Amino acid sequence: MRCLIFISVLLLVGVCQAVERDYQLKPQQVAEDTYVLIGHDEHFSFSNGGNIVNTGFIVTEAGVVVIDSGPSRLYGEQLKAAIARVTDKPVVKLFITHMHPDHFLGNQAFEDLPIGALKKTQGGIRLLGETFNDNLYRLVGSWMKGTRVVAPNLQVEPGLEEIGGHRLQLIALKGHTGADLVILDQTSGVLFAGDLVFYGRTPTTPHARLDEWQAALQQLQKLDFKVLVPGHGPPVTSEVAISQTSAYLNWLQTYLTEQAGSGAAMAELLQPEAPQHLRELAVFSEEYTRSLSHLYPALEAAALAEGKVEQQQ
């Protein structure tokens, strides 16, 4: 009996010590010098540790340029280690595409480097970063251990920037958030689209303006790229991810506007009528429900404003 207890205690200690968690990051080459780490098509959860996002890096003559740092300190550190398995060149710069927590909470691992982002992204992270960090602790738990908000320390302006033989076109767009940075590597033809493009996975809308987002997608259609890296979902060589994102957003906007116009209450819309090809997107039902919460209040306010009311007070 005593022996059994002893063994149980040992097992428990073992379990507790095995908590240095491993994201199993595996860089996949998508073009010359260019690698992507593809996240799960899921929601934040303990089992995925918040790794639902794509990050990427470009190995240039002058060092490595990283695009987005992932959801936690641990992810950032493991990203750095994964890069070191590909090249012995040091990381020289990090770009953050936008203010969402799965894209920047790994910044700690790159704290000493220039971390570039659009001005509004810097501001958004300063304002909401801690809230996001707390939210992720609640959603993914101990994977977030030791994670602290490091806001981007360098304001990026749109235009061309050449780093170690790679001509990077920095494009400032908006729609998914108030500031979405897109990076087109003209040298390799890889387009890092950030969360303006989702592929096979339902887009998220907590800070979205759908009209601006559609305009941004039209801009992206015009770019000359060989490979597109979406913020979530696998990289693709065609425009299909752009048109899929656009089709979903268009359906969302049309459906919710119509329902608001005909007087539907928000919670009557939890089982939407959506085309099959959109329903098949990963986490459709969860993301649609979240979007209902983000977008419906404004649409319903617009619909109610058309009503006829006389205040009698």
Partner 1 sequence: MRYRIYCLLFLLLARPLDLFAAESPADPLNSVMWHEMHQRLLDGAPVVFDERVRVSAPAVAEDSLNLPLWIDATALGEVERLLVFAELNPIPKVLDMQPLKAAPRIGLRIKVQQATPVRAAALTADGVWHLGGVLVDAAGGGCTAPSMGSGSSDWADRLGEVTARLWSRENHSRLRASIVHPMDTGLVAGIPAFYLEQLEIRASGGDLISRLALFEPIAENPVLTLDLPKVKQLTMAGRDNNGNPVEAQISESSQTGSNRL
Q: How far is the CB of 180 from Zn ion (least distance, A)?
A: 8
Cα angle 87, 89, 94 (rounded to 5 degrees) comes to: 100
Nearer to partner 1, 3 or 267 (CB): 267
Asked if 106 and 76 count as a contact pair (C-beta separation under 8 A), the reply is: yes
Q: If binding is defined by CB under 5 A, does position 201 make contact with Zn ion? A: no
Nearer to partner 1, 227 or 299 (CB): 299
Element (DSSP H or E) covering residue 304: helix 284-304
Q: How far is the CB of 49 from Zn ion (least distance, A)?
A: 17
Nearer to partner 1, 88 or 268 (CB): 268
Q: If binding is defined by CB under 5 A, does position 73 make contact with Zn ion? A: no
Q: What is the bridge-based pairing of β-strands 154-155 and 91-95? A: unpaired
Which of 252, 238, 242 shows the shortest CA–CA distance to 298?
Answer: 252
1 makes contact, choosing from partner 1, Zn ion, none, with CB < 5 to 8 Å by partner type, with none
Q: If binding is defined by CB under 8 A, does position 206 make contact with partner 1? A: yes
Site for Zn ion in 74-133 (CB under 5 A): 100
Q: What is the DSSP string of 169-216?
A: EEEEE-SSSS-EEEEEETTTTEEEEEEEEESSB----TT--HHHHHHH
Place of tokens 């998220």: 204
Rg from Cα positions in the chain: 22
Site for partner 1 in 263-302 (CB under 8 A): 263, 265-268, 270, 286, 289-290, 292-294, 296-297, 300-301
195 makes contact, choosing from Zn ion, partner 1, none, with CB < 5 to 8 Å by partner type, with Zn ion
Asked if 133 and 144 count as a contact pair (C-beta separation under 8 A), the reply is: yes
Helix (H, G, I), strand (E, B) or coil at 271: coil
Q: If binding is defined by CB under 8 A, does position 97 make contact with partner 1? A: no
Q: What is the DSSP string of 65-99?
A: EEE---SSHHHHHHHHHHHHHH-SSPEEEEE--SS
Distance between CA 244 and CA 228 in Å, rounded?
Answer: 13
Nearer to partner 1, 6 or 46 (CB): 46
Q: How far is the CB of 232 from partner 1 (least distance, A)?
A: 13
Site for partner 1 in 34-73 (CB under 8 A): 43-44
Nearer to Zn ion, 93 or 100 (CB): 100
Q: If binding is defined by CB under 5 A, does position 195 make contact with Zn ion? A: yes
Q: How far is the CB of 68 from Zn ion (least distance, A)?
A: 10
Q: How far is the CB of 213 from partner 1 (least distance, A)?
A: 15
The site for partner 1, by CB under 8 A, has a size of 44
Nearer to partner 1, 33 or 300 (CB): 300
The gap from C-alpha 296 to its chain's centroid, in whole angstroms, comes to 22
Binding site for partner 1 (CB under 8 A): 43-44, 100-102, 128, 131-132, 135-136, 138-139, 204, 206-207, 261-263, 265-268, 270, 286, 289-290, 292-294, 296-297, 300-301, 303-313
